[in-house]
Structure 1
Amino acid sequence: MGLFLKSRLRIDKHHQSKDSVFFRDGIRRIDFVLSYIDEANKEADKKAERRKEFELHLQNAGLELETEDKKESENGKTYFVKLHAPWEVVSTYAEVLNIKVPIKENDMALPMENPLDCVLKPFKLPDHVMHPEPDFFTAPFSKQKQELFLINDMNNVFSPSTRNRIVYYILSRCPYGTEEGKKKFGIKRLLNNGTYTAAFPLHDCQYWKKAKDENCESERFTLYMQWAKFSRFFKEQPLDLIRKYYGEKIGVYFAWLGFYTEMLFFAAIVGFICFLYGLITMDESTSSKEICDPEIGGQIIMCPLCDQRCEFWRLNSTCEPSQYSHLFDNVATLFFAIFMGIWVTLFLEFWKRRQARLEYEWDLVDFEEEQQQLQLRPEYEAKCTQKKRNPVTQVSNIDV
């Protein structure tokens, strides 16, 4: 039986696509990758010992590991350690991190259609790109109440970005030994001291073509074709797909960036109109006429511009610069300054509304508070072994 499994693994490995995001068995998803180079130097044995102990603690935490030999790498020197979090681990830490899971499909009435949708149709994206998943009511996950959640397939309950977040949470807190009586832990330290060369999650495929593996959703390819290409600069952003692939923080960032760009468009239109007004009225500027007039500006002698080797000059020599300055310094400039003062206020208020809508649609109402409570720095968390109740919130989250 053991020989059969070994030969099967060799066959799967030989035929496995380079785009695959699964272990050699084609079932377990790769949630994170650690890489290292086995060099022959003085610290090689110490680094190998750290890796051995760290990976042993990762297995004790429930993660499954699979190592690719350096011969399979492009440079022939790098080992890749693939990590997979099984359901037991993912469900446990999903409860710790208060990750929300669907409990019921949203049955609320859809908003009325915008009468301007026909006009805005060239700027729209297909519905399957804009809304890759149906809308659900959600709640923080609980292992003891799994039957209350909509779990059809345990492998697809949590998105890849959520699984990456859970595995990184484990990596950042996993110990690998003690030095000088102090406990050492965390992937950051191992990266800094060169034990591992890199730690990263995988994309689901190459961005310029779909993955050959049918189990791969090729969301990265969809984002490239529908969002990241320059020819799509005028299209709306698929924020739901960005959030699903990269996570909430990246999704909110691009939501803000897109909203800021839209608001700047209106400011640019008003600014361009003010510029055109200056261009049209450039020949009617009284100050420019007086400066260019040889009987007025030509008779005014100006002082030298420097103390040595500079001569007196006539005011009409600045005729052309004075005309060009009228493009940006005219009556419309005052209007533009007032408009920008109003624009800033409207931008802030409209973004608050947009942000509140995203918080509701993406279930991020308490996201920031949860992050502050749960995402303590591992170094700080290791030193603080006791907790006391917060007198305001009555939650035991103050470390002492």
Structure 2
Amino acid sequence: MASQPLLKSSSKASYGSESVEMANKKSVTPLSMSKSAEFPPGTSMFRDQRRRVDFVLVYKDDADEGSVEMREYFHTELRKAGLHLEEIAPEMDESTSSEAGLYWILIHAPTAVLMRHAEEMGWKMPVRIADDDNEARLCDPGIFKTPLDTHRRIPDYYAALFRRDLLKNFLNYDKPNKLFSNAQRGRLVYDILQEALFSENSSDLGIDKLLETNVYLAAFPPHEGHYSPEEQEPDADDQPETARQELRRYWARWGVWYKNQPLDHIKEYFGEAVAFYFAWLGMYTVWLIPAALFGLFVVVYGAATLSSSPVVNQTCSSTLDMCPTCKRCDVALVNASCIYAKLSRLFDNEFTLAFAVIMSFWATFFLEFWKRKTIQLAYRWDVLGEEEEAERPRPQYCIKATGEAPNPITGRTEPYFPPSSRTPRFLTGWSIIAVMFVLLLILVIGVIFYRTIILVVFLGSSFRAEAPVLTSLTGSILNLVVIIIMSFIYSKLATFLTNWEMHRTDDDYNYHLTMKMYLFEFVNYYSSLFYIAFFKGRFSGYPCDYTTVFGFRLEQCTVSGCFYELSQQLLIILVGKQIFNNFMEIVVPKIKVLYAKWKMKRMYGSIVENEQWKRDFYECEDFGGLFGEYLEMVIQFGFVTVFVAAMPLAPLFSLLNNIVEIRLDARKFITQYRRPVAMKADGIGIWQTIISTVATFAVVANAFLIAFTSEIIPEVFYRYVGPTGNMDGYVHHLLSKYNNETNGTGHCISYGLRQANTNTCYYKKYSNQEYYYHLLLVRTVFVILFEHFVFGIVRLIDLFVPDIPRSLYLKIKREEYLAKSALSEDVNSPPPDQGEKSFA
């Protein structure tokens, strides 16, 4: 193939200083406006059907002269940058007028403009397809291969920094409409919009600031056609499926729940940031499968061995009297705790320790493999090792900044808010956060008091026999309601405080918001679990010396301990949270969309929805980012790892939820959200650090849970060190005798001993103190050995298993070599063979 000449319009002198007329005249070139050019199916077009719509701006015509002037100045600057603008005025009918209607600014970027900007941003572009024997094909996490990979396979490319003077060496150099994908075009146009001024002040720039001040109502790249083929325009029936329809068919559909995710296609349509989220969620879900199966085995084993458990049999057959726990309580037999002993046995049996150890390794292994997967995907998507761009100030920061100062990187004058003014705001914000933490702990204590009071109420009613179960169940539900309400309130407060702290860049803003939200949610969701696991029943006191607060006794555990109650609390919070979140993600968005369409129709009259950008605006809501999605999954990750020993079924419920979550999130991105700008990313960002911290903390938490909450260590210790040499008398060994005649006082009698037929009762406390301290030593040694063993293995893995596999390391070096070779070829030599190896 003979080499093609470079584009004449790629000269840097062609941009930035030309008049509006020259910009429009120059852009009409065979490269960007050829009638025979092929566009991907579903591409939105200008009226001339020769230029594609890369971005859409929406505004309402109002009488605000300031907004009008800013828009006119902004449009002029966009034309100077080489962009084409086409304005669509509202149609006149009986129910609307041009003064009250919506205006649409359609934006098209000529390929020459995109090339210049891609070169300035240091983008990597494909120079040739990877060799078949060296192609780093990555299996998307899942059970079966997605049909979309077979239907429209995206090859792996070697890439190099884009250079216009070496254009012929890049793939599709002679196919301008395929040189950049639609997602890439939207991202490049967005960057141009972010750099354009809207006044003579050099700090007044960026579409985000105009959106923040309501100069524009929306700004977004259009979707590629309707997600349903049935909704296509009548003359498009014979057209092939669009990329959006392919993702809808092969990814965002319940019928493919067992299929792999087409990560390459997600990245191609939505960008690397969204693709990394679904890659992480998919891999996490697949890794839950063995954890869920093992957890289910633990529960099944516990149920199968109920009848042969010595502890359960002794508890259910004991006729010893337990001391009353309140003034209205009767003396109860030990066998009243039979149901709790059986429930505890389901989750707390011989395999619970092995399950806790395996899940500790599971969390650390998952993180190690995810690191490797991250590097593989970053390499495949050409974002590995990319240097971060100098971030622009956030629009909220620009609006509220009190001064101006030059940017130390770019030298451009930007809005500036001095640190001396930020520090008091920062300290005040975290002081308010501390108050919220105290309030949250007060609410947890309030739930504890509720349980104490409601127990007395149930004991004085006809539900006396079911009082403990009802108290625990209603307390757990109340705690879930408090968690949901506090989460909603705090999310609003955290957002307000983070805005008030005046963080300059999005990275700083997202970091502080994430830390505020996750720390609070950690305490919000897990505080009640920590109370039951490590504090409940340990400070309640003993007969004649009960611990009271405001006249109420502190809660205590049954003979079988608090393990069953911890399991119940975790199950209710985990499953209840999942049900609530799924309701909010399925029902609420549909209601919001219906309301928005009704509101738009009421305000602007009949809605014409033939154009895709109008459908996107009316039928879809703005994409709010991935923060909420990550936060939900990381909280779930904590349930699966930190308290998994108390609820072996947590991985199973999380697996079932995530199977739904993947397709539910996919449907939202395809059908409910406007198309987000395809942002680059080389991983999951700060969430990687948070997940690693949770996994480390989970090892310690599970060690303490097994040692001090579970009955595994006491049972094993009694079997080999106890007086009988087996499990005989184990339950009796847990109890101490109280005699009212020798130890009692009037105060003790008022607690109910006078209702008994005997002056002797038992309460939970080791009668042999020396045995108790020996057991305490064993528990402490177990914690130390457990965490040192797990952390030692993890350290060995870090030492001997590199984050970058050697095969991938060689591929990276080979790509660097081939990319340099391709770009160093003589301009008159034939370009690399391209054939059908394109993203289209």
> Normalising by structure 1, what TM-score?
0.80
Partner of 2:302: 278
Partner of 1:16: none
Partner of 2:156: 135
Partner of 2:48: 25
Partner of 1:11: none
What is the percent sequence identity of the aligned residues?
35
Q: Verify: 1:38 aligned to 2:61, yes or no.
A: yes
Which one-letter code corresponds to 1:102 in the other structure?
Answer: P
**CA shift at 1:377, angstroms?**
3.9
Q: Calculate the aligned-residue CA RMSD, in Å.
A: 3.1
**8 Å CA contact 1:283, 1:323 repeated in 2:** no
Larger RCO, structure (CA 8 Å, separation 6 or more): 2
**CA shift at 1:105, angstroms?**
2.2
* Distance verdict in 2 for CA 1:32–1:272, change over 3 Å: same
3-state SS of the aligned residue for 2:229? coil
For residues 15-61 of structure 1, give each alpha carbon's deviation from its aligned partner in whole angstroms, at most 9, with x where no partner exists.
xxxx6511111221111111011134xxx222111111111111111
CA distance in 1, matches of 2:221, 2:92: 19
3-state SS of the aligned residue for 1:34? strand
Partner of 2:194: 172
CA distance in 2, matches of 1:71, 1:20: 23
**CA shift at 1:169, angstroms?**
0.8
| Pairing of 1:208-287 with structure 2 (within 5 A) | 208-209=228-229, 211=232, 213=236, 218-287=242-311
Partner of 2:168: 147
Which one-letter code corresponds to 1:90 in the other structure?
Answer: L
* Distance verdict in 2 for CA 1:59–1:129, change over 3 Å: farther
Match for 1:355 among 359, 374, 377?
374
* Distance verdict in 2 for CA 1:129–1:243, change over 3 Å: farther
Partner of 1:394: none
Partner of 1:305: 325
Bigger radius of gyration: 2
CA distance in 1, matches of 2:301, 2:102: 63
* Distance verdict in 2 for CA 1:202–1:383, change over 3 Å: farther
Unaligned runs of at least 5 residues, structure 2: 1-41, 399-403, 411-840
Q: Verify: 1:68 aligned to 2:84, yes or no.
A: no
3-state SS of the aligned residue for 2:125? strand
Partner of 1:342: 361
Q: Verify: 1:95 aligned to 2:113, yes or no.
A: no
CA distance in 2, matches of 1:93, 1:112: 29
**8 Å CA contact 2:55, 2:221 repeated in 1:** yes
CA distance in 2, matches of 1:112, 1:45: 56
**8 Å CA contact 1:186, 1:378 repeated in 2:** no
Partner of 1:207: 227
**CA shift at 1:107, angstroms?**
2.2
3-state SS of the aligned residue for 1:124? coil
Partner of 1:192: 212
**CA shift at 1:232, angstroms?**
0.5
Partner of 1:330: 349
Considering fraction of residues, name the structure with more strand. Answer: 1
Partner of 2:406: 384
Which one-letter code corresponds to 2:308 in the other structure?
Answer: E
**8 Å CA contact 1:20, 1:216 repeated in 2:** no
**8 Å CA contact 2:130, 2:157 repeated in 1:** yes
**CA shift at 1:110, angstroms?**
5.8
CA distance in 2, matches of 1:83, 1:67: 9
* Distance verdict in 2 for CA 1:197–1:112, change over 3 Å: closer
* Distance verdict in 2 for CA 1:143–1:182, change over 3 Å: closer
CA distance in 1, matches of 2:324, 2:84: 80
3-state SS of the aligned residue for 1:284? coil
Which one-letter code corresponds to 1:290 in the other structure?
Answer: Q
CA distance in 1, matches of 2:264, 2:70: 40
Partner of 2:180: 158
**8 Å CA contact 1:159, 1:244 repeated in 2:** yes
CA distance in 2, matches of 1:139, 1:241: 21
Q: Give the stretch that moved more between structures: 223-232 or 72-81.
A: 72-81
Partner of 1:10: none
Partner of 2:389: 373
**8 Å CA contact 1:101, 1:157 repeated in 2:** no
**CA shift at 1:112, angstroms?**
11
**8 Å CA contact 2:323, 2:331 repeated in 1:** yes
For residues 157-176 of structure 1, give each alpha carbon's deviation from its aligned partner in whole angstroms, at most 9, with x where no partner exists.
11111111111111112111
CA distance in 1, matches of 2:273, 2:87: 31
Partner of 1:57: 77
3-state SS of the aligned residue for 1:221? helix
**CA shift at 1:111, angstroms?**
7.1
CA distance in 1, matches of 2:272, 2:50: 27
**8 Å CA contact 2:136, 2:380 repeated in 1:** no
* Distance verdict in 2 for CA 1:229–1:266, change over 3 Å: same
Q: How many residues align?
A: 354
CA distance in 1, matches of 2:405, 2:57: 26
**8 Å CA contact 2:147, 2:250 repeated in 1:** no
For residues 297-344 of structure 1, give each alpha carbon's deviation from its aligned partner in whole angstroms, at most 9, with x where no partner exists.
x2x2223333x3233222211211211221011111111001101111
Which one-letter code corresponds to 1:166 in the other structure?
Answer: L
3-state SS of the aligned residue for 1:184? coil
* Distance verdict in 2 for CA 1:281–1:242, change over 3 Å: same
3-state SS of the aligned residue for 2:160? strand
CA distance in 2, matches of 1:62, 1:113: 38
Which one-letter code corresponds to 2:70 in the other structure?
Answer: R
CA distance in 1, matches of 2:382, 2:81: 29
**8 Å CA contact 2:142, 2:259 repeated in 1:** no
CA distance in 2, matches of 1:21, 1:373: 30
CA distance in 2, matches of 1:168, 1:255: 25
CA distance in 2, matches of 1:264, 1:169: 39
3-state SS of the aligned residue for 2:133? coil
* Distance verdict in 2 for CA 1:121–1:85, change over 3 Å: closer
* Distance verdict in 2 for CA 1:140–1:332, change over 3 Å: same
CA distance in 1, matches of 2:309, 2:202: 76
**CA shift at 1:145, angstroms?**
1.5
* Distance verdict in 2 for CA 1:236–1:230, change over 3 Å: same
3-state SS of the aligned residue for 1:169? helix
* Distance verdict in 2 for CA 1:374–1:217, change over 3 Å: farther
CA distance in 1, matches of 2:253, 2:194: 35
For residues 231-262 of structure 1, give each alpha carbon's deviation from its aligned partner in whole angstroms, at most 9, with x where no partner exists.
10100111111111111121122111111111
CA distance in 2, matches of 1:192, 1:121: 40
**8 Å CA contact 1:47, 1:195 repeated in 2:** yes
Match for 2:334 among 315, 320, 323?
315
3-state SS of the aligned residue for 1:243? helix
**CA shift at 1:183, angstroms?**
3.2
**8 Å CA contact 1:130, 1:241 repeated in 2:** no
Considering fraction of residues, name the structure with more helix. Answer: 2
**CA shift at 1:135, angstroms?**
2.6
**8 Å CA contact 2:142, 2:258 repeated in 1:** no
> Normalising by structure 2, what TM-score?
0.39
3-state SS of the aligned residue for 2:251? helix
